[in-house]
Amino acid sequence: MNSRWIAAALAGALMLTPLAAGAQAVDQAQADAGMELFKPTGANCEMCHAWTGGGRWNDTPFSTVPATGPSLITSTMTRAQMIEVIGCGSVRGDAVMPRYRGDAWTQQFPCYGKVGTSATADERPIPGERQLTAAQIEAMVTFIQAVYQGKTMTLANCEKYFGPKSKGCNLLRK
Ligand code: HEC
């Protein structure tokens, strides 16, 4: 698996420039809705990906304790790939990315080219804390791409996440 992550990191570094240059205007309302869903009060993606999206656990900004989930900052996934992995979930060794669509792995929403009966139990990960609609998953991905993927955490985004004056954002204050 290591080589996969190294390759992904390299590809990510090479892709930053074209991504930034070709970036489209962010749908802010969608990104904000996605941020709410990322929180423990939403679908709780934070539990495994950390609030920074960096896959470092706990509330201390830039903690070095690894989380269960990979970094969304260095993710090289396309929008479509993210929509699929969030809807379908994914299992990697002992680490599980839950599935967030109720109809995932059915004819309605096949996952990685498979549907229920042809998939082993391992390939159909546990459902997430709550199910998300297609529109909510779109919003999640807009948020991830606007705030995490290839980005550096800003004080503005931190305060948006935790609220103004939050101590959790101290490391980002000059
Ligand atoms: C229980 C822990 C857990 C939770 C909760 C969780 N994830 Fe994940 N996530 C993972 C793991 C583990 C992987 C890696 C799966 C793999 O490589 O097969 C992953 C992978 C991903 C990826 C693909 C990243 C990449 O480049 O490989 C995205 C995007 C993602 N998660 C988004 C989310 C979103 C959005 C939520 C909330 C709706 C969420 N995750 C909730 C554990 C979690």
Q: Which atom in ligand 1 lies closest to the alpha carbon of residue 8? A: 26
Burial of 38 (0-12, 13-18, 19+ CB in 10 A): buried
pLDDT at 156: 94
Q: CB–CB of 128/137 below 8 Å?
A: no
With a cut of 70, list the residues of the chain below it in pLDDT.
Answer: 1-24, 56-66, 117-123
pLDDT at residue 23 in the model = 52
CA of 21 to the centre of ligand 1 (A): 27
- Closest residue by Cα to residue 6 from 76, 55, 56: 76
The reply to whether ligand 1 has any atom less than 6 angstroms from the CB of 67 is: no
pLDDT of res. 166? 87
Distances in whole angstroms, Cα of residue 62 to Cα of each of 54, 57, 152? 8, 9, 11
**Ligand 1 centre and the CA of 123: distance in Å?**
14
Closest among 103, 24, 92 to 55, alpha carbons compared: 92
Q: Is the CB of 49 under 6 A from ligand 1?
A: yes
The pLDDT, as a whole number, for residue 91 is 86
| CA distances from residue 156 to 33, 122, 174 in whole angstroms, order as listed | 16, 40, 13
Ligand 1 pocket member 35 (CB < 6 A): no
> What's residue 50's pLDDT?
86
